């Protein structure tokens, strides 16, 4: 594909360096790793780690101090082909042994790690209603052990699937680690999903028990989680028991013999021992994609593979230290939830989790938390930043954010205006934005900056360490300087071991476009200086009069306008153009959309992307429908606009926003 066939977003193709490392950033862990291996600079490290992935993964795991119950005899076995590669052959390892268990005795040394001790803070929790709790490593380990013991009493065995349908409370972290402890497979599900979405995932995984809660809280309202779980349970024949946390004291009907109150069951349980003889390939989690393109895909992640990727990313990209407080605005049902939980406890840091909407009860809820707990690393989605930016700078400025050292983001492409607001107003131009991109199917990143590299606005830095990443043209040739398909040439430890019960769909999704190469489905570009940028999903591409464009490219231009807070763009059928662009805008407070502004916006798009791509329709709406992880649901918007069946809406936090979507 040539660059004339896909609009190159000049917004995302920034040419100026906005941040360069200095001071303590040049003493990051990744520098220590380079020095130990006589590597001169970060460019050489990335190049070598991608050319010789075998060397990198062996060296990185040794450096990070992985604890093996039985060492592996062979790094990987690809005899069945790239898609079915097995890693750490013959090895035995448990995530729990490398995280909570390992830190209980202070001062042990393994590689670059030093254990922090049982009294070190592991978890800080706050709810939007002001409730707060904290757990030390010893307390979180003990709670996980008792939950694991309770599961054993319910006849849960290694390999059994355990559903987790709970709000972001401390117990959800403990349940995840309890699953790891006894070799059960955790199945985290958004607590905002409806009964059918929950049942689909539980049935696919053949879940044996489900952990849930009476209710949760979001925007000051009670969310009846147990009631939804009861409806789902009626559709899941494999489900034997439900364990219910009294979180809001809202009451919940309990089915005798099936349902147990969390505290009653756990308080009476004995702490279980960590299973030591789990194969490195033993599944740790089934993580489900959103299912926006059909039935949700169950990705299968192993103990060793998931731990290797996650520990590497939080250790090298985020330079996580034991004294750090790490806060990623997430839910257990998004891969960033388990990613944060596993990564922080591997490195002995403190995770912070929040229950509720991150802009409630006031728009500075996130900034207050960062101030109150002196957060060092803050991860947040571009969509949420766009919403918070619309509230103005005063909400940021009234809080002390001087503790921040690294900013993080993932989930979608940035527009430069919002990215620079995050960099300048939140990070005060001091903090690099570690803008990462990968996916649920990798439980980690294909692209990631390092804190020792200079950054351009909206850049994703470079290929992740140990990930042989490239950009391909339509005919499968490596290209630089123009937009193409993001691919991975070699296996990585954390790649899903197929889709649960659907191997053909797995092969079709990732390995049919370029046989023998992982096709990720993102548009990407490497500029002349070696900086990487993303331009949205290739399956989102809109074709207007023969010219292709990603919705994110158009949205980035629209939100540059001072009157526009957020934008969603869809392509709809057009009898002459094939498709035309329809744009939905959320205006800044006090701003209205009039004919003059519509003309300005159409002109901006024409100048940036070409006159062919000027939108046909621009409409102002009060809100855009989004998932709880902050992603705008363009496919649902398009179906509503075209008066088609909207599909499953349970993943949408504000389905009422769809009422604003109608043909004009």
Q: Residue 269 to residues 150, 219, 265, 373: CA-CA distances in angstroms?
A: 5, 35, 7, 33
9-23, 438-452, 618-632, 648-662: which has the highest mean pLDDT?
438-452
The Cα 196–Cα 187 span in angstroms is: 15
Task: Tell me the three-class secondary structure of 50-91, residue by residue.
Answer: HHCHHHHHHHHHHHHCCCCCECCCEEEECCCCHHHCEEEECC
CB–CB of 434/449 below 8 Å?
Answer: yes
Write down the residue that tokens 């004339």 correspond to. Answer: 4
Structure tokens at 537: 């999903």
Give the model's pLDDT for residue 535: 85
pLDDT digits (tens, 9 = 90+) for 623-655: 998 877 677 888 889 989 998 887 777 778 788
Give the H or E element holding residue 176: helix 170-182
pLDDT digits (tens, 9 = 90+) for 545-594: 878 788 888 988 999 999 999 999 999 988 888 889 999 999 999 999 99
pLDDT digits (tens, 9 = 90+) for 133-165: 999 999 999 999 999 999 999 999 999 999 999
pLDDT digits (tens, 9 = 90+) for 114-140: 999 999 999 999 999 999 999 999 999
pLDDT digits (tens, 9 = 90+) for 255-283: 999 999 999 999 999 999 999 999 999 99
Show Cβ contacts of residue 290 under 8 Å, excluding neighbours closer than 6 positions: 296, 627, 631, 651
Give the model's pLDDT for residue 192: 82
Q: Per CATH, which fold does 541-660 belong to?
A: GMP Synthetase; Chain A, domain 3 (3.30.300)
The Cα 428–Cα 431 span in angstroms is: 7
Task: Tell me the three-class secondary structure of 336-398, residue by residue.
Answer: HHHHHHHHHHHCCCEEEEEECCCCCCCCCHHHHHHHHHCCCEEECCHHHHHHHHCCCCHHHHC
pLDDT digits (tens, 9 = 90+) for 285-330: 999 986 444 578 999 999 999 999 999 999 999 999 999 999 999 9
The Cα 418–Cα 289 span in angstroms is: 26
DSSP 86-119: EEEET-B--HHHHTTTGGGSTT-EETTEE---TT
The Cα 160–Cα 205 span in angstroms is: 9
Give the model's pLDDT for residue 294: 57
Give the model's pLDDT for residue 547: 80
The Cα 251–Cα 247 span in angstroms is: 9
Taking residue 268's Cβ as centre, other Cβ atoms within 10 Å add up to 11
The Cα 638–Cα 646 span in angstroms is: 9
Closest to 342 in 3D by CA, of 144, 191, 50: 144
The Cα 387–Cα 177 span in angstroms is: 33
CB–CB of 270/478 below 8 Å?
Answer: no
pTM across the whole model: 0.88
The Cα 154–Cα 216 span in angstroms is: 25
């Amino acid at each position: 594909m040539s660059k004339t066939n896909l609009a190159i977003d000049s917004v995302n193709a920034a040419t100026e360096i906005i941040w360069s490392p200095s001071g303590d950033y040049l003493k990051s862990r990744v520098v220590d790793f380079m020095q130990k291996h006589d590597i001169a600079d970060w460019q050489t490290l990335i190049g070598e780690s991608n050319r010789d992935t075998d060397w990198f993964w062996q060296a990185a795991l040794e450096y990070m101090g992985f604890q093996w119950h039985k060492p592996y005899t062979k790094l990987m076995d690809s005899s069945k082909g790239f898609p079915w590669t097995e890693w750490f052959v013959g090895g035995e390892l448990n995530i729990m042994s490398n995280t909570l268990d390992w830190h209980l005795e202070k001062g042990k040394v393994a590689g670059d790690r030093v254990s922090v001790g049982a009294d070190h803070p592991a978890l800080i929790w706050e709810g939007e209603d002001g409730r707060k709790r904290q757990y030390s490593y010893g307390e979180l380990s003990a709670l996980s052990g008792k939950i694991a013991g309770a599961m054993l009493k319910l006849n849960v065995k290694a390999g059994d699937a355990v559903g987790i349908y709970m709000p972001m409370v401390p117990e959800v972290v403990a349940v995840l680690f309890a699953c790891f402890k006894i070799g059960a497979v955790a199945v985290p599900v958004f607590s905002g999903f409806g009964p059918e979405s929950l049942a689909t995932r539980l049935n696919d995984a053949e879940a044996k028990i489900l952990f849930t809660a009476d209710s949760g809280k979001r925007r000051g309202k009670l969310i009846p989680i147990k009631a939804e779980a009861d409806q789902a349970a009626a559709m899941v024949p494999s489900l034997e028991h439900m364990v219910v946390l009294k979180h809001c004291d809202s009451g919940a009907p309990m089915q005798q013999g099936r349902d147990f109150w969390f505290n009653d069951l756990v308080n009476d349980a004995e702490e279980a021992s960590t299973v030591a003889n789990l194969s490195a390939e033993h599944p740790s989690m089934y993580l489900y994609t959103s299912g926006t393109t059909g039935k949700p895909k169950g990705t299968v992640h192993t103990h060793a593979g998931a731990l290797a990727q996650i520990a590497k990313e939080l250790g090298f990209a985020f330079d996580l230290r034991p004294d750090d407080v790490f806060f990623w605005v997430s839910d257990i049902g998004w891969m960033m939830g388990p990613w944060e939980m596993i990564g922080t406890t591997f490195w002995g840091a403190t995770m912070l989790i929040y229950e509720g909407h991150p802009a409630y009860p006031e728009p500075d809820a996130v900034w207050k938390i960062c101030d109150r707990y002196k957060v060092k690393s803050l991860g947040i989605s571009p969509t949420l930043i766009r919403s918070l930016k619309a509230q103005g700078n005063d909400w940021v400025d009234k809080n002390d954010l001087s503790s921040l050292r690294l900013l993080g983001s993932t989930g979608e492409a940035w527009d430069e205006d919002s990215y620079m607001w995050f960099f300048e107003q939140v990070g005060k131009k001091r903090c690099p934005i570690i803008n990462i991109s990968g996916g649920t199917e990798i439980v980690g990143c294909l692209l990631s900056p390092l804190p020792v590299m200079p950054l351009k606005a909206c850049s994703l830095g470079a290929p992740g360490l140990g990930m042989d990443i490239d950009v391909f043209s339509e005919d499968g040739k490596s290209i630089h300087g123009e937009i193409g398909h993001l691919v991975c040439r070699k296996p990585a430890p954390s790649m899903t071991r197929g889709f649960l019960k659907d191997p053909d769909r797995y092969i079709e999704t990732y390995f049919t476009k370029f046989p023998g190469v992982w096709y990720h489905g993102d548009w990407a570009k490497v500029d002349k200086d070696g900086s990487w940028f993303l331009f949205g999903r290739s399956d989102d591409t809109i074709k207007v009069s023969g010219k292709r464009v990603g919705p994110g490219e158009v949205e980035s231009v629209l939100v540059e306008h001072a009157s526009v807070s957020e934008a969603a763009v869809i392509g709809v059928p057009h009898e002459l153009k094939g498709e035309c662009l329809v744009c939905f805008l959320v205006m800044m407070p006090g701003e209205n959309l009039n004919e003059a502004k519509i003309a300005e916006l159409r002109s901006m798009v024409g100048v940036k992307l070409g006159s062919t791509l000027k939108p046909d329709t621009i409409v102002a709406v009060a809100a855009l429908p989004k998932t709880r992880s902050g992603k705008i649901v363009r496919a649902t918007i398009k179906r509503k606009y075209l008066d088609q069946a909207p599909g499953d809406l349970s993943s949408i936090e504000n389905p009422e926003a769809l009422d604003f979507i109608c043909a004009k």
